[in-house]
Structure formats: C-alpha cells, structure tokens
C-alpha cells in the first residue's frame, strides 16, 4: 500500500527544509508520529552505525516528544478531539528537534543520506519470513522494555 511511506517522505521533506536538518533526522522524527519511541530502535537499526551522536540524540528526543499512533487512537477513544491530537503530534516534531539541538548542537555533517541508505539486512523472501522476523524484533524490544521496568521497580522498592 505504501501510504505511510508517502506521508513520511512528504512530511520529512517539509521538516528537513524548514528546520535545516538532515534527511535521516527528519525521517526518524516524522516516523515517530506513526510508531512511537519503542519502535524507533527497529527503524534505525540498519544504519545506526553511521549515525553521528547528534542524529542519534535527535532520534531519541523526537521519539520522547511525540506519542505513537496507537496511543493517539486510545486518547481519541477516551474523548480527546482528534484534531488536537494531530496538531500536538505535528508540533512535537519541531519541539523535539529544537530540544535536541539545544542540548547537543549539530557539529558534524550527516553520513547517512537516502542515496547511500542501504539496509544491511536482506529483504524477506516470503510473508511468513517477514512476519517471523518482525515478531522476533518486537519480542526483543518488548523484552528490553520489560527488563528496564523491572530494574526501575527493583530500585524504587
């Protein structure tokens, strides 16, 4: 279908030009509207070794500034007007990037562009393999989140 990819490409281009950020920073920042902070490691995994410190920090701040699409749907079900949620999500992108730039100014040029954006993983050969790979990636993320929560509970107890 590719609707999400088209929206990410359009909004990412707008934010890249308006905020003078790299393509990868705008890609990750706009992706957080749909996915959220927990899924960002899966997004940047193929090219994380080429991200500089500022780009990685911007990715983290963007994810923390916005809410995932599933959370947005939950708030809408509770009665929060959808137009307010969408406006807040769009305003969170420049807010997260501004916060990242204040704490970690961009001093290096980006090593990742969409021309050399190569994913190190081979594409799945079937839908079953894609589902299994996605499930395993999700399991790793969920296990990491559960471990951090248990550590915080143990510290606070």
Do the Cβ atoms of 90 and 33 come closer than 8 Å? yes
Give the other-Cβ count within 10 Å of 62's Cβ: 28
Calculate the alpha carbon distances from 20 to 26, 28, 37, 101, 109 in Å.
Answer: 9, 15, 23, 11, 12
Residue 107's CB is within 10 A of a number of other CB atoms, namely: 8
Between 29-33, 56-60, 92-96, 112-116, the lowest mean confidence (pLDDT) is in 112-116
* Other C-beta atoms lying within 10 Å of the C-beta of residue 78: 7
Q: Give the pLDDT confidence of 51-104 residue by residue, as tens digits.
A: 888 888 888 888 888 888 888 889 999 999 999 998 998 898 899 899 998 998
Distance CA 77, CA 152 (A): 30
What pTM was computed for the model?
A: 0.66
What is the Cα–Cα distance from 67 to 89, expressed in whole angstroms? 7
Write down the pLDDT at residue 118: 46
Rounded distance between C-alpha atoms, residue 39 and residue 32, angstroms? 8
CA distance 89 to 95: 10
The structure tokens 């296990």 sit at 143
Considering only CA atoms, which of 110, 111, 91 is closest in space to residue 99? 91
Phi, psi of 5 (to 5 degrees): -65, -40
Look at 62 and 157; give whichever has higher pLDDT: 62
Q: What pLDDT does residue 66 have?
A: 86
Extents of the domains making up the chain: 3-121, 124-157
């Amino acid at each position: 279908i590719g609707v999400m990819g088209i929206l990410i490409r359009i909004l990412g281009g707008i934010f890249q030009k308006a905020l003078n950020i790299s393509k990868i920073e705008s890609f990750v920042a706009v992706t957080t509207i749909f996915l959220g902070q927990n899924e960002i490691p899966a997004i940047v995994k193929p090219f994380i070794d080429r991200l500089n410190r500022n780009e990685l920090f911007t990715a983290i701040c963007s994810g923390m500034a916005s809410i995932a699409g599933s959370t947005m749907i939950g708030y809408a079900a509770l009665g929060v007007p959808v137009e307010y949620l969408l406006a807040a999500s769009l305003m969170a992108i420049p807010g997260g990037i501004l916060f990242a730039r204040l704490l970690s100014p961009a001093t290096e040029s980006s090593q990742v562009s969409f021309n050399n954006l190569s994913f190190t993983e081979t594409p799945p050969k079937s839908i079953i393999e894609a589902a299994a790979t996605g499930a395993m990636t999700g399991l790793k993320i969920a296990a990491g989140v559960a471990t951090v929560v248990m550590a915080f509970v143990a510290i606070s107890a």
